[in-house]
Amino acid sequence: MSSILLILQFVLAVVLSIVVLLQKSSSIGLGAYSGSNESLFGAKGPAGFLTKLTFTLGFLFIVNTLALGYIYNHEHKSSVVDTIETSKIPAPAVPANPVPATPSAPAAPAAPASK
């Protein structure tokens, strides 16, 4: 199941990239590339169609990503950290007589004597 979703993820990524690259930054859309397609895509031309297609593909991409993460977490219940053998790791060395902490700031000066 996860391999099918992974292949679908790659396909969605490629198709989504192509659809985004086909769009123009202005409202021209695909009209500059293919002539007058207004009868095929509707009154606004291909801009509305590509916007809806981009939204749909983006939504499918996000849902597929969440599904892949969910399935992967249920298939692989162990972590890489679980495979580390802690018996081979030496314990950190502790000094015999720990050095007392010295104050980091100097002591406050004495108050002047009043006369």
- Give me the residue spans of the domains in the chain: 2-77
pTM of the model: 0.52
User: What is the reported pLDDT for 38?
Assistant: 47
Using the structure block, give the residue that is written with the tokens 């809806």.
52
> Which CA distances in Å does 15 have to 34, 49, 57, 109?
19, 15, 8, 73
Longest CA–CA span in the chain (Å) reads 102
Q: How confident is the model at residue 67 (pLDDT cuts 50, 70, 90)?
A: very high
Residue 57 scores a pLDDT above 80: yes
Helices 2-22, 46-75: axis angle to 10 degrees equals: 160
* pLDDT at 65 > cutoff 60: yes
Amino acid at 27: S
